[in-house]
Amino acid sequence: MNLTDRPRRLRTDGIRSLVSETNLSSTDLLAPVFVDATTDERVEIESMPGHERVPVSEAVARVQEVLDTGVEAVMLFGIPESKDERGTRAWAEDGVVQEATRRVTAATDAYVVTDVCLCEYTSHGHCGVVEDEAETDPTLTVKNDETLELLAKTAVSHARAGADMVAPSSMTDGMVGAIREALDADGHESVPVMSYAAKYESAFYGPFRDAADGAPAFGDRRHYQMDPANGREALREVRLDVEQGADVLMVKPALAYLDIVRAVREEFDHPVAAYNVSGEYAMIHAAAEKGWLDLEATALESLLAMKRAGADLILTYFAEDVAAAL
């Protein structure tokens, strides 16, 4: 054979890394941290091996563990000491995320992002104020406009506590605009908003609901999270968030939605985030425990796929393990 083009020439050890098209760094990763106001000790999350809920008193130590691997940013999720129908602990000055944020920002150099939603704080587990009779009528859902005020109050309370960035995740129409306006009015015009701009109603969220104690007590979230069948709708959702002032655009989940990550990357010039969600993490761990997959290699390949699709940053439960191996 007389082949002019032999791609294998560039796959040998000496040249392979030099011509690699996609690079993954620890600085591309955000590590989720769960802070639990109901416990005085660390509690393992059974469906997410290697992860724990930590008490507020352990928040700094937990974040320092993340930093020691080379990851520089964390996303704080909170489990409050009590819940009610409106999720009032979400914006309390002495709330779990607010107190953890104050401690972490005072004691570490971590870049702190906070999740802005109400599902962990409401007694019904939905992402806002529910309509009357929603518990018994499956056609009813969250009150959109009434929820916006509560999300804005929550974001402001996080910024006052020292959050470097806020990340609204409720898929409430107008949430970015309401939060941006509230932050600016309170003097936090420099705090960016990372919107969960295209968040799907996905079966891959199961373990997270164990971790954050945020499963709906009734019904589901199909009326406000996106239909997994829809791709073009994602661009419409993202465009609305861009127009309202979103600084970073997140797609959630990641692995089953790499086409959406790519579409958002090509359509918009904002930084794109991908959320490598709990179910994606758990299924790789489960297969590795069976001996069917190599855990580290599969995790790394998955994150590389997200970067290759166009993600600039990745929120992942693999952050510490992968960063330590890079």
Residue percentage of the chain with pLDDT more than 90: 81
Nearest to 33 by CA among 85, 100, 128: 100
Q: Exposed, middle or buried: residue 317 (CB in 10 Å: 0-12, 13-18, 19+)?
A: buried
Q: Which residue, among 68, 62, 60, has the nearest Cα to 42 in the 3D structure?
A: 62
Mean pLDDT of 305-310: 98
199 is catalytic: yes
pLDDT of residue 100: 98
Instruction: Please pick, among 153, 199, 290, 307, the residue that the annotation labels catalytic.
Output: 199
pLDDT at 79 over 60: yes
Question: What pLDDT was estimated at residue 47?
Answer: 86
Identify whether 252 is a catalytic site residue. yes
**Among 83, 153, 252, 307, the one annotated catalytic:** 252
Question: Pairing relation of β-strands 43-44 and 165-168?
Answer: unpaired
Residue 22 in this model has a pLDDT that exceeds 80: yes
pLDDT at 134 over 80: no
Q: Mean pLDDT over residues 217-229, rounded?
A: 73
Mean pLDDT of the chain: 92
User: What per-residue confidence (pLDDT) applies to 215?
Assistant: 61
Question: Does the structure show a pLDDT above 60 at 91?
Answer: yes
Structure confidence at residue 217 as a pLDDT band (50, 70, 90)? low
In the prediction, which pLDDT does 304 show? Answer: 97
| Contacts (Cβ under 8 Å, ≥6 apart) of 11 | none
Residue 286 has pLDDT above 70, yes or no: yes
Q: Is residue 77 over pLDDT 60?
A: yes
Q: What does pTM read for this prediction?
A: 0.92
Place of tokens 């086409």: 259
